[in-house]
Structure 1
Amino acid sequence: MSRDVKAVLFDLDETLCERPRRPAERLAAAFDRAGVEPFFTADEYHRLVNEIGGTDSDIRRRERCFERLAREYDRDETVGRQVADAYQALTDYTAVQFLPGAERVLEDLEETYRLGLVTNGGPDTQSPKIDALGIRDRFETVVLAGYDTPAKPDPTPFRTAMANLDVSPERTIYVGNSLRSDIAGASASEIRSVWIPYGDPERPNRTQNRFEPDYTLESIEEALSRPWEGD
């Protein structure tokens, strides 16, 4: 069966774009704004938000995470909600910027492939980013995993994107930065994956991850080399 690639699917956050203020910095500022001594880390929050999943808004899901972390650290749930409210007040979802080379990659690949976006998050957080970057029209399908479908690494959002594009897994590539959600989800969907480990907390423990990417790049700009075309 031909493995000629017809479609390339992308993750959004820390694959194509980033916020100037890192998550750990925003969380520290939220604790300070709420007048609460820090009692959990950004990595703990991100691991838990993926575990909780669901189809709530991202804002409500974050609140549930902070409440649960408060309970786990023997704090009252109201303390978690105070920090969540402060985090939300400090967050501007339009304050995003392309990672170096990302815009050029999209411009180059759309000449050859059908492009799709598969990102964890709902319209309340992801749509402002997509529109601020001006990239909505570059994608033939946008799947908001955790809102339209279960969150990554569940294979459903990947399969939904492929169905929308009418492409098969062997003709699809997925590009993402997270071993835990992107590479694991692509593997479960039988899609070849490109791992760009920018901002991935799992990178130091990569050997403990049972999902191996098909290709590893050091930056999104390296996707211009189209490594999958050598297969």
Structure 2
Amino acid sequence: MVSDVYDFWLFDLDGTLIDAEWEYTRRTFDRVGDRLGRAFSDREAEILWHGLGGARNAQLHEWGIDPAEFWPAFHAVEDPAARAEATYLHPDAAFVADLDVPVGLVTHCQQFLADPVLDHLDIRDWFDTIVCCTDDTGWKPDPGPVSHAMSDLGVDGADDGVLAGDGANDVGAAWNAGLDGIHIERHDPERRGQCVLADYRIRSFEELLGT
């Protein structure tokens, strides 16, 4: 089984292990739109929430939206408690709890949102380190946050590791840090509009378990 191959595992969070109910996402973008004076369609909200178009800042620029205005507005309207209540765990992610190697989380989800979600779903103890990306650590596909997680886990380049995520930025961060990359596709590839290359391309983590 692929799950037995690696000395350590790293995971993205949103879209990989968990997701939020659509009603919460739609409500969030309505509030962001009110602040920016610019409405977001369902499709635009889906693209930005899930990163379907690749790098979100590049997508914002393409739509004529300044990321320096968007992200403060986005984080200002997010309600940590409401988001935690609206978040669910993908059933196939349960195998993470049984991994008998160091396990880390490397997520763009900010700590004030990630903490309530992890506690609400009772999965914090799945991870030996949790790295929430910042300007200081860098943002995937930059290898900085991945290297930070590896340092926390006490592993180095001599260990065989892997990072699993639902976007091209996750695989890019894995490769840039010298790890294998797993892309889990939670959406119809036609809705993503691009093919994400990876060492493993799967639709469910069950494919790695031989089930």
- TM-score category of the 2 structures, normalised to the smaller one: 0.7 to 0.9
Between stretches 197-206 and 32-41, larger displacement belongs to 32-41
- 1:35-184 equivalences in 2 (<5 Å): 38=39, 41-42=44-45, 43=47, 50-51=56-57, 72=64, 84=74, 87-88=77-78, 92-95=82-85, 96-103=87-94, 105-108=95-98, 110=99, 112-146=100-134, 149-169=137-157, 170-179=159-168, 181-184=169-172
1:98 is aligned with what amino acid?
L
Q: Which residue of 2 aligns with 1:214?
A: 199
* Fraction of identical pairs, as percent: 27
Task: Compute the RMSD of aligned alpha carbons.
Answer: 3.9
Amino acid at match of 1:100: P
Distance 1:117 1:81 in 2: 22
SS of 1:225's equivalent?
coil
1:128 is displaced (CA, Å) by 1.3
Aligned-partner Cα distance in 1 for 2:182–2:210: 12
- Name which one, 1 or 2, has greater alpha-carbon Rg: 1
User: Mind listing any 5+ residue stretches in structure 1 that lack a counterpart?
Assistant: 53-64, 227-231
2:179 is aligned with 1:188: no
How far off its partner does 1:86 sit? 8.2
Tell me which amino acid in the other structure corresponds to 2:148: T
After TM superposition, the score normalised by the length of structure 1 is 0.68
Is the CA contact (8 Å cut-off) linking 1:16 and 1:220 kept in structure 2?
A: no
Task: Give distance in 2, aligned partners of 1:139 and 1:22.
Answer: 28
The runs of at least 4 consecutive aligned structure 1 residues that moved more than 6 Å come to 31-35, 80-83
Residue 11 of structure 2 corresponds to residue 10 of structure 1: yes
Question: Counterpart amino acid of 1:5?
Answer: Y
2:9–2:103 CA contact under 8 A, matched in 1: yes
- Structure 2 CA distance for partners of 1:24 and 1:6, relative to 1, 3 Å: same
Flag structure 2 segments of 5+ consecutive residues without an equivalent: none
Q: Give the total of aligned pairs.
A: 198
**What displacement does 1:33 show?**
6.4
Please report how far the alpha carbon of residue 224 of structure 1 lies from its aligned counterpart in structure 2 after TM superposition: 2.6
